[in-house]
Amino acid sequence: MIHKKMLLKRINFYIIASLISFFIMLPFFWMISTSFKDAKALLKIPIQWIPKEIYTGAYEKLFEVFPFGRAIFNSLFISFATTFIAVFSAATAAYVFSKIEFKGRNILFFVFLATMMIPGQVTMIPNYLVLRNLGLLNTYVGVMLPSFFNAFGTFLLRQNMLTIPKSFSEAAIIDGASHGKIFLKIILPLSKPAITTLSVITFMGSWNSYLWPLIVLTDKNKMTFPIGLSLLDGQYSNEYNLLMAGSLISIIPILIVYIFAQKYFMEGMNVGGLKG
């Protein structure tokens, strides 16, 4: 009897989960379907979820109205470079705050965390003025520089590194290893889930960033993909297949990154909050 109740609960759970997943994925399926329809098929009722004729003209026109090929390259370059530098700097700071004892370490760490309370909109004008004085406006470096140091990333990795036993570091020090070697050879490999999680979050934030690149970049050939996509919301706002084609392309890199990183993603999120 108990076994039957457990079986019924499990069946009900999977049915409810499947229904929720279906409704969540419905807009995504609609986006794919719309991107492969021509103008006439968009207006047909009842809705054609599977187009009778596959129309790729929206994707061809997308790259004609704006240099989206260049924009995709710009976004990928900025996203990967920002992710690498931001994650490495966060990992370095996290190692210092978790494994190296020095006076005022905890106070300095809490002051560093306090910067998370400052809204990004407050720092945009000062950052812009600094970049202007440095001659970094309309450059990739100008877009990436404010994102190189991440208080949240440092917090996430520090919490993970605190769970790594000190005996590993102490044994390496006895063998004559330097802090740099301990960090690269021991701490980083053991922190792979948390680092992967932070990498995915940082990449998504950088890829989807719109306002800051819009402020810094003025050259069309240096603009990122979200900026180019926003320019369609005007002259081409009624061409839904064109908008859906651009939106679909915009989520592909995030899906690819998440698919490759999902093995460590949830594990990293869970480990990150175990110890304070």
Residue 120 sits in a domain of what CATH number?
Answer: 1.10.3720.10
67 by Cβ neighbours in 10 Å (0-12 / 13-18 / 19+) ranks as middle
Indicate if the pLDDT at residue 257 is higher than 50. Answer: yes
- 3 and 100 in a common domain: no
Interval 179-216: pLDDT, tens: 889 998 899 998 888 898 899 999 999 999 999 999 99
Residue 157: both structure tokens together: 């990795």
* Residues in Cβ contact with 52 at an 8 Å cutoff, skipping those fewer than 6 apart: 41
- 109 and 163 in a common domain: yes
- 96 and 132 in a common domain: yes
The pLDDT score that the predictor gives to residue 153 is: 92
Cβ density class 217-250: b for 16+ within 10 Å, e for less: beeeebbbbbbbbeebeeebeebbbbbbbbbbbb
- 184 and 101 in a common domain: yes
* Residues in Cβ contact with 240 at an 8 Å cutoff, skipping those fewer than 6 apart: 34, 42
CB atoms within 10 A of CB 99: 19
CB atoms within 10 A of CB 153: 24
Residue 260: both structure tokens together: 């490759």
- 217 and 137 in a common domain: yes
- 174 and 91 in a common domain: yes
- 51 and 71 in a common domain: no
User: Which alpha helices (DSSP H) does 209-239 contain, by range?
Assistant: 211-216, 225-230
The pLDDT score that the predictor gives to residue 28 is: 87
- 49 and 26 in a common domain: yes
Within a domain: residue 188?
A: yes
- 77 and 37 in a common domain: no
Q: How many structural domains does the chain have?
A: 2
Interval 9-32: pLDDT, tens: 888 888 998 999 888 888 888 888
- 168 and 224 in a common domain: yes
Percent of the chain with pLDDT over 70: 93
Q: Find how far residue 5's CA is from the centre of its chain.
A: 42
User: What pTM does this model have?
Assistant: 0.84
Interval 96-114: pLDDT, tens: 999 888 888 889 999 988 9
Within a domain: residue 12?
A: yes
- 224 and 192 in a common domain: yes
The pLDDT score that the predictor gives to residue 275 is: 42
The pLDDT score that the predictor gives to residue 179 is: 85
Using CA atoms, how far residue 206 sits from 62, 86, 112, in Å, is 22, 11, 21
- 167 and 77 in a common domain: yes
Within a domain: residue 129?
A: yes
The pLDDT score that the predictor gives to residue 126 is: 92
Last residue of a domain, one of 15, 34, 55: 55
User: What is the residue range of 34's domain?
Assistant: 1-55
Q: Considering the chain, what is the average pLDDT of its residues? A: 86
The pLDDT score that the predictor gives to residue 90 is: 94
Interval 144-177: pLDDT, tens: 999 898 899 999 999 889 988 888 888 888 888 8
Within a domain: residue 276?
A: no
Residue 109: both structure tokens together: 């760490």
